[in-house]
Amino acid sequence: MTTREVWITGIGLVSNLGEGIEPHLAALAGEARAKVDSESFAPYAVHPVVPLEWDRQIPKKADQRQMEPWQRLGVYAAGLALADAGVKEDRELLGRMHLIVAAGGGERDYAVDGQILSGLPKSPAPGAFLNERLMSDLRPTLFLAQLSNLLAGNISIVHGVTGASRTFMGEEQAGVDAVRIAAERIAADQGDIFLVGGAYNAERPDVLLIYEMGGFLWKNGFVPVWDRPAAGGGFIPGSGAAFLVFEARDHAEKRGARPIAVLRGVAADQVRRGPGATERSLTALWRSIADGFSDEAGAVFSGASGVAGLTEEERSALAALAPDAAVYATNELFGNMLEAQFPAGLALAAAALGRSVVAEAVVTSVGHVRGEGLAFLGKA
């Protein structure tokens, strides 16, 4: 079995904190605070993404107009990662770069929704009215299960990344599997360089409605993640995107690239949730890839959501596995970016390693409904 060392050679990150690694490392050091909007969607809070100069990464206005906000965020972060890796202008390399994206199913057209809901009660033939409006008013794109592929398509169009492409759906776990598959393919000599990541737009009434119906949203202003379960639990959604360039060591060295961090392992699980199941899952994942972690010099970048039950179990597992490690809750910095949460945590951990803020890092993900994941990173 071939095993190649996986390097992280590029990071692209945007959130409520800003763009690039500098504002995120500043927040990690306590020099900046997360921005929370508690008014636009009251009583629900969101972490709104900072205003971005789209032209810097998406030069054509026509491209910008045809993308939904989450797609623009993803394409923008992808451009940052490619530039950081020093490959943005290398057309030959971009042409064989693989792309793995974690994405949701697209956004609602609220104007059309409103017109249809207003017109249905007044129509003498509601069924015919609904069919007619759906056929004539909705954009002629793809059905919802395929809208997730549009992010990968737009990255290919704007940035010229035209190697093999794969998209994962499935909230937090989609991000875990995007990272895991990319790392495993490089290790198995099934590709030399990958662009991996995801994007999420939290500033949408439709997703807030969905998560509130499930009882997952936190409604009491900003409270630290670890303190939320005692008051019922819940997460604050966050808008943003994260992409990383993964590269085989031999490939990176050949082109003179230096690593930001080394991805030593990624593991995933999907247990049947019940008392103790999450704690047991994280413990098993940790022991499978991160048993050599030095908690005195390392840090844990936890994706804990704040949802009751799961959050306490993760904290208990971390206390047993790494009692002396610094633990950062990424949800307190940029909220829960769902599909992009694990790539964002990985990006932040890699940046901290690259700047020698920490010597080793573990990144965790416990999905608010399902899915567990863990990554182990070290310095080059």
Q: Are residues 366 and 346 part of one domain?
A: yes
Which of 144, 165, 194 is the last residue in one of the domains?
Answer: 144
Q: Are residues 206 and 64 part of one domain?
A: yes
Diameter of the chain by CA atoms?
71
Answer whether 362's CB lies under 8 Å from 44's CB.
no
Tell me whether residue 138 is in a domain.
yes
Q: How many CA atoms lie within 13 A of 356 on its CB side?
A: 0
Q: Greater confidence, 145 or 152?
A: 152
**pLDDT tens figures, 38-72:** 999 999 999 999 999 999 999 999 999 989 899 99
- Lowest mean pLDDT, pick from 83-87, 135-139, 259-263, 357-361: 135-139
Ramachandran region, residue 213 (left: φ > 0; alpha: ψ -120 to 50; beta: rest):
alpha
Tell me whether residue 62 is in a domain.
yes
Using a pLDDT cut of 90, give the percent of the chain over it: 84
Q: Are residues 239 and 126 part of one domain?
A: no
Q: Are residues 16 and 131 part of one domain?
A: no
Q: Are residues 90 and 53 part of one domain?
A: yes
The one-character DSSP state at 127 is H
Q: Are residues 218 and 99 part of one domain?
A: yes
Q: Are strands 44-46 and 165-168 parallel, antiparallel or unpaired?
A: unpaired
**pLDDT tens figures, 260-304:** 999 999 999 999 999 999 999 999 999 999 999 998 889 999 999
Q: Are residues 281 and 313 part of one domain?
A: yes
Tell me whether residue 26 is in a domain.
yes
Query: What is the DSSP secondary-structure string of 341-377?
Result: HHHHHHHHHHHHHHTTS-SEEEEEEE-SSS-EEEEEE
Model confidence band, residue 141 (pLDDT cutoffs 50, 70, 90): very low
d(CA 144, CA 192): 32
Q: Are residues 134 and 61 part of one domain?
A: no
Residue 2 is predicted with a pLDDT of 59
Our count of domains for the chain comes to: 2
Which of 144, 167, 198 is the last residue in one of the domains?
Answer: 144
Q: Are residues 117 and 175 part of one domain?
A: no
Residue 145 is predicted with a pLDDT of 46
Residue 257 is predicted with a pLDDT of 97
Chain-centre distance for alpha carbon 77:
11
Answer whether 339's CB lies under 8 Å from 175's CB.
yes
d(CA 364, CA 318): 10
**pLDDT tens figures, 19-39:** 999 999 999 999 999 999 999
Q: Are residues 154 and 42 part of one domain?
A: yes
Contacts of 326 (CB under 8 A, 6+ apart): 298, 299, 300, 358
Q: Are residues 306 and 181 part of one domain?
A: yes
Average pLDDT, the chain: 93
Q: Are residues 135 and 51 part of one domain?
A: no
pTM of structure:
0.93
Which of 88, 118, 144 is the last residue in one of the domains?
Answer: 144
Tell me whether residue 1 is in a domain.
no
Tell me whether residue 289 is in a domain.
yes
**pLDDT tens figures, 101-118:** 999 877 766 777 778 888
d(CA 354, CA 345): 14
Residue 1 is predicted with a pLDDT of 47
Residue 146 is predicted with a pLDDT of 54
Query: What is the CATH number for 256?
Result: 3.40.47.10
d(CA 105, CA 150): 9
Using a pLDDT cut of 70, give the percent of the chain over it: 96
For residue 114, what are the domain limits? 110-144
Burial class (CB in 10 A: 0-12, 13-18, 19+), 213: exposed
